[in-house]
Amino acid sequence: MAFSPLHGFILGLLLVQLAGSMAIPPSGPSNQQHEQEPSKAYIVYTDHVAKPSHFATHELWYTSMVASLSPAAANDSNRIFYLYDTVAHGFAAELTADEARRLSITPGVAGVLEDGVMHLHTTRSPSFLGLDRDLGILPDTNFGDDVIIGFVDTGIWPESPSFTDAGLAPVRRSRWNGRREDGERFNASMCNNKLVGARFFPNPMGTRATKASTFPMGNVEFQSPRDKAGHGTHVASTAAGSEVPGAELFGFATGTARGVAPRARVAMYKAVVAAVDAAVKDGVDILSISLGGYHDPDFYRHPPSVALFGAVRAGVFVACSAGNEGPMASSLGNVAPWITTVGATNLDRVFPATIVLGNGQALVGQSLYTYTANQTPMVRLLPSNCTGTDLVPDMIMGKIVVCTDVGPLTGMAVQSAGGSGVVSIATEDWGMEGLMVQAFTLPAVSLGAREAAKLDAYIRSDPFPVASLRFTCGTAVGESRAPMVASYSSRGPNHIVREVMKPDMVAPGTNILASWPDETLLSGPRRASFNILSSTSMSCPHVAGVAALLRNGHRDWTPEMIRSALLTTAATLDNQGRPIADSAAGARSGGATPMAAGAGFVRPQQAMDPGLVYDAGEKDYVELLCTMNYAAAQIGVFVPGFAGCTATLPGGGGGLNYPSFVADLSDGAGVRVLARTVTKVSEGPETFTAKVVAPDHLVEVTVTPATLEFAGHRNEMKSYSVVFRSKKRPAAGMAQQFGEIVWESDVHRVRSPVAFIWD
């Protein structure tokens, strides 16, 4: 995956217990002994109901399996290092590739997958979401009090003021079984009524490598729940941070920092599959997972999808980041239908700075550089490829270096070589509104593609181009267009089951201020208690926080009902009353499509009272997997004891009772019939009428019945069907078209985005 240059840390060995994307194909026992074959970590999925009766426990059964592989395995009691018994069933173990192959054909084993690597995917954003401290959903839900959000991430910095428990009583629910584990520079006493759980799942095979591995800026990760990378601290405080007055980063984005659900509780889990299993067993209500990196062809090959299936089945709402490979199509990393996939947008907050060219032209960009003299002298501009061979004193001394997508390390190299400044060109971001800012230690300005084109034209036209950088050292709020889908935000279609639309929605992810470990370096030698980051990693916890508010207000809602409420009430217009735009260069005309924005921008207040919701459950997802022609053994990875498919979804994958529609019209008939069932979650009798928006010249859409009448009691259900009939194929390059189906009453508006696909 591609990542924001602000936090492109590879989590690698830190996030252990995540199986990789390649299943181990069955094969017969090897006749050769591979004495030198390296061991790796594998996850072994089992059908736990198949345990032979002569084993008293599953652990004894698993131990016997591993011991049977070789005399060495029989004598090594440490080969198994995690057991799974909640969201999945099985164990993690140290195995050679040959042992993994032989174990995969052992009776009772549903699958064996190799360990892999996953990557990491405020003062303003809560108010931009419409969250008011004095009225609406925040006070109505007591700011998310007593809802527990579990974070699977790099850990947490417990000393951060965002995790103070002032005014919070102990968790009142008896079913909370969270643990607080000791480790390197972390002990249980650091937890409190805000940080109610902190656990670390080390990989015995990767311990030495993990301790030796270093991150950018020299960060070495702790063997404990303590966060050194900073990502987990930032994410957790974004979703559920307590109020912190006076938050800022070097004078920028000043204000009171608070999470979306500031009284929700935080439980940090530093691992992946093992962490999800533990979090669900502990009793979390919400899971926020800002991780990704797999583009597997099947869900059963993707251990996080398997684990999160179990989490949702247990009633836990799961939010996952969409990924940072946009604007490339089909670049999403988390597409399982049972999770909520979140893309990223900007805020209506910018940090303006100006480049004044030698011809008098002024180009507007953004910067987090603090410069007391307001402007730099007029000096020469030097286009550069910003490699090590370019960044030497003889070439750049005293010059402003112009590079593409400069990161903090490059800025430090320019400064070390005597450069007087940096201009960072963002090739994918059209305007300045969506630019990712960075706290450079030398004068620096970031430009979008539109302004960059002007700069390039000037440099080409002048044999001695010069410029001055001008800084206001300020923060502008409410003046720029927002939300706009970030260029880096990963896009659909869904690469596994394209009839299920992903991403589901978008939320603030660009230039988000949140807590940071005050020992972890930023750019250069500087440290701070807050940091500004950009990524779908930052948008995901916003939705997790909103889900925590909804869970507080609607304890009887399923995860799917929460997702539906968020999706069907999402905004499609920006703060200027125009369709939400796409900040990617060349993509702004016509607004962001659902392949970039999903249903739109999350609106917490509206989601609290959606009127109707689309629900689903294990049976629906199993029928989807059957529709995808998964074998019984493959579905058994999700549902132990699964005997075989008895039903599939009418209409194919698009027949899942999802809040959005994808009408695949690529077959010869050009007709698709999809059914949906809605559940009324509001009081009182109500009549809803269907309204359809579609490209009339290409497709005909008929909703039957066109009116839904509800008697008035909660949880009343009504079903309807939609016939999508292609009139003609669109022109080349236009094989995706979009529309919407809206159910309207006098009180509610329930909107579902629709994608029409011909190829």
DSSP state string for 316-336: -EEEEE--S-TTSTT--S---
The full DSSP string for 273-312 is HHHHHHHHHHT-SEEEE-EE----SSGGG-HHHHHHHHHH
**DSSP SS3 for 618:** helix
3 state SS of 583: coil
Contact 756, 697 (CB under 8 A): no
Would you say 295 and 287 are in contact if contact means Cβ atoms under 8 Å apart?
Answer: no
- Rounded to a whole number, what is the distance in angstroms from the first to the last CA of the chain? 25
153 is annotated as an active-site residue: yes
Concerning whether 48 is annotated as a catalytic residue, the answer is no
In sequence order, the β-bridge partners of residue 705 are none
Q: How many beta carbons lie within 10 A of that of residue 477, not counting itself?
A: 15
| CA-based torsion, 40, 45, 49, 52: positive or negative | negative
Distance CA(258)–CA(126), nearest Å, equals 8
Question: Could you tell me which residues are beta bridge partners of residue 199?
Answer: 269
In the block, tokens 């584990």 appear at 181
Task: Record the tokens describing residue 385, joined without a space.
Answer: 């490829």
- How does DSSP assign 431-465, residue by residue? SSTTPPP---SS-EEEE-HHHHHHHHHHHHH-SS-
What's the angle, vertex CA 59, arms to CA 56 and CA 63, rounded to 5? 110
- The H or E element containing residue 568 is helix 559-568
Residue labelled with tokens 């009418």: 650
- Determine contact, residues 380/365, Cβ cutoff 8 Å: no
The DSSP output letter for 226 is B
Q: In what order do the strands lie in the sheet with 699-704?
A: 612-613, 671-680, 717-726, 699-704
d(CA 392, CA 413): 9
How far from 376 is each of 14, 451, 649, 752, CA to CA, in Å?
42, 19, 64, 51
Provide the token pair at 175: 């079913």
Find out whether 257 and 126 touch, Cβ atoms under 8 Å. no
Catalytic entry in 153, 296, 504, 574? 153
Catalytic residue among 89, 231, 234, 748: 231
Torsion-angle region of residue 136: left (phi > 0), alpha (psi -120 to 50) or beta? left
Quick one: tokens of 465? 């181009």
**What's the farthest any 2 CA atoms get from each other in the chain?**
86
Give the separation between CA 99 and CA 96, rounded to whole angstroms.
5
Q: Please pick, among 224, 468, 489, 537, the residue that the annotation labels catalytic.
A: 537
The residues, ordered by sequence, that sit 6+ positions from 459 with a Cβ below 8 Å of its Cβ are 381, 383, 402, 465
Residue 292 to residue 649: CA distance in whole angstroms: 28
* Degrees to nearest 5, angle at CA 390 with 387 and 392: 120
Residue type, 749: R
Q: Alpha-carbon Rg of the chain, whole angstroms?
A: 26
CA distances from 546 to 505, 602, 604 (A): 13, 9, 6
| Token pair belonging to 69 | 């592989």
- Confirm whether 231 is a catalytic residue: yes
CA-to-CA distance for 84 and 542, rounded, in angstroms? 29
With beta carbons less than 8 A apart as the criterion, state whether 599 and 570 touch.
Answer: yes
Active site residues: 153, 231, 537
